[in-house]
Structure 1
Amino acid sequence: MSVAIRHLDTTQADFEAEFHRVLHWSAETDDAIEQRVAEILADVRVRGDAAVLEYTQRFDHLQATSVAALELTRDELRAALEAITPAQRAALESAAARVRSYHERQLEACGRSWSYRDDDGTLLGQKVTPLDRVGIYVPGGKAAYPSSVLMNAIPAQVAGVGEIVMVVPTPRGERNPLVLAAAYVAGVHRAFTVGGAQAVAALAYGTATIPRVDKITGPGNAYVASAKRRVFGQVGIDMIAGPSEILVLADGSTPPDWVAMDLFSQAEHDELAQSILLSPDAAYIAKVQEAIDRLLPAMPRRDVIRASLEGRGALILTRSMDEACAISNRIAPEHLEISSSEPSRWEPLLKHAGAIFLGAFTSESLGDYCAGPNHVLPTSGTARFSSPLGVYDFQKRTSLIEVSEAGAQVLGPIAAELAYGEGLQAHARAAELRLKNDNGGSR
């Protein structure tokens, strides 16, 4: 049975209306979820460990005598690494090495303190310091993502964060050994088998056992997303992520099966994930549709893929690759593949994307696991103003100012003039008192 994915054409009169229908996604959360999350956060804030333990027993069916009993030791994490297959260990350590190397280069490029002195001897600069403690949330249960451990913990480690605290739900005590092994490889300092809104609350407010952190990163379900949104301000957060997205710009030179599978790679995440193809070649789009229909029956998650493609997917015929790039900028996708024989020709035209994958051999899945750049990316069009998770998310910047006596003579009158204009006399006088010719007056 053919997959009923939308076919759009930019030359059609109704294109804009249909295009908006494809992109529409409501980020509004269920009122019942919001109310439940608010109750859980308030309870954990007041009762601490007791509330965390109660919710863990209720939601994850994990029995424990204390929250301390839910902490994983470094020995347990190391044992998990030693228990996985040699192939899994080699893949995990290779991926970690590439992710670490990329973020070390990122640190060199943007994560260092700097300063300079101007002509009058005034020192100006920026002091970059790592956060003291961060929490990373790792999904568990039906989904287990060791790659998320690497992508969240390694840039924090490279940034110099003092303590990395991981929380991961383990429903009915089922621990994923790859997740635990990844935590060891990535340098996680403490790990707790706690999940959901209660884990976010514990990290944000602190309990007797789980330490309060400065920032929380990592994906989760609707309860986790709602909790992160609510605790923002008490702590920092990375982002509120929407459904996963892939946009493929294709000039017709890539085998259609490759593109079809790349569209599947995001559609298999969940029914709300979005997969879009933009191409100026109508015959090629037909070949991709044929590949989708032929390859889908063999996919284990075919029902999820079909629902995603039929609900939010699209194959869009454009007038040209230039127009395809312009439409891509309007979408600002999470993952953007330039499946072209000349990717470097089109990349300069693309302004908004979480990550750009250049050329037919650069499948998005390589970026998810082992290429090196971070796979935590802005979704739902937020790539227009947001960036991938990186070393800079685990650092803060402090301005440095040291004004010399000569500099005070230059800057003082400027500051005083502006301060008087704002009606802030104390500001003005503080600047004027440093002037050699100050007569003690004020306006």
Structure 2
Amino acid sequence: MKNLGFKAMIVTMAFVLLLAGTFGGGSAATAAEAPEINAEAAILIDANSGKILYQKDPELTLSPASMTKMMSEYLLLEAISKNEIAWDDKVSISETIHKLSQNRSLSNVPLRVDEKYTVKELYEAMAIYSANAATMALAEHLAGSETKFVEMMNAKAKEMGMTEYKFVNSSGLNNRDLVGNHPAGGPEEENMMSARSTGLLAYNLLKDYPEVLETTSTPVKNFRDGTDDEIIMKNWNWLLPTLIYANKYSVDGIDGLKTGSTDLAGYAFTGTAKQGDMRLISVVMKTDSYEARFNETAKLLNFGFDQFESQSIITKGDKAEGNSSVSVVKGKEKQVGVAAGESFSAITEKNTEQPYELSFEYDQALLTDDGELTAPIKEGDQVGKVVLKSTGEDFGYITGDKGSSVPLVATDSVEKAGWFTLSMRAIGGFFGGIWTSAADAVKGLFS
């Protein structure tokens, strides 16, 4: 699409084009027939843009159970990336964590007080096997105490823009299961998040630390292989290839992300899969059974891949047909070309003719009162943005953005004109104004 065909609007300096019949998917899930998702809350997100493709009670606050560990994983991977800790760091085990780790019914690998474990070992136990005591050990190692780690969790949630959340521990268990250790909140409290906040957490985890998938996609791994404490860790994501529901509820390309279940949470799952260039994230919360969460996840992800596709909307360098320049003052040239500074793809519904709205929006801080740019201008300078918005019902973006955009940039450099050129223009404008006034006065004599 080399000519964007924007229509100029004098007052707002915006250019708008309704692309009727060109690109599908304006209203996200409204045109496509969405499946009935048997969960109290659910959401489906394009992992690249953050576009929400489906939602059901997305702001309802529920227990995420062990989906909590996505935040613990994020903070750990962030600390690794900042060289605050290392994969081969040795982690000591407190008596409290040792005691909890012996309860195998709570999804644990046994940990010894007289042993030290690498960060990598405990991380794999957390991400693959959802090991709760291992998660707590990492929290203590990273923050000094789990209480301080919980403070970090809540601060990071706020920083990410999550709106419905409360973290009281690092693992997602109910506080009553933590053998008398309550990092935050009361003895019967549990972490709480909405499907929207859970989806935003997963979106940020995959965007910032996609390497997490190398671990979450592992079906089976031995903990402490070759020792007396060796444990076979089977991934609780039973949609992974070779695991229990891989064939019954098949989703091509699934490689994560995190299950969760407690009495309060029921059975929940944050899933992700990639097919071609498109990766989707799904969240289902409070389903009726262990199996149901995988059935509902498969329905949601397969719906997304069946009904939506990624399309190139704008290519870097695309110009607006007939309006590909803007006026410049104090420059050697009086116009400068503008074009899209980056390529732009969007998730669209397949086989639909629902329009998008594209707009050229100039940075008002750069414009004069007459809507002109001021020289000097360098080629590639951003002068605004090209925004894509849906014209139909729109679930928006998990990040809260109203629409996706790419920079609008100058295609040429415009040097500032010298004083002589500016003076001559001013004189020309002065006499031009006198001539116009005189001509109007003469006309008035014969009216």
- TM-score over 0.5 (shorter chain): no
Bigger share in helix: 1
Query: TM-score category by the smaller chain?
Result: under 0.3
Report the TM-score when normalising by structure 1.
Answer: 0.24
Indicate the structure (1 or 2) with the bigger Cα radius of gyration. 2
Bigger share in strand: 2
Report the TM-score when normalising by structure 2.
Answer: 0.24
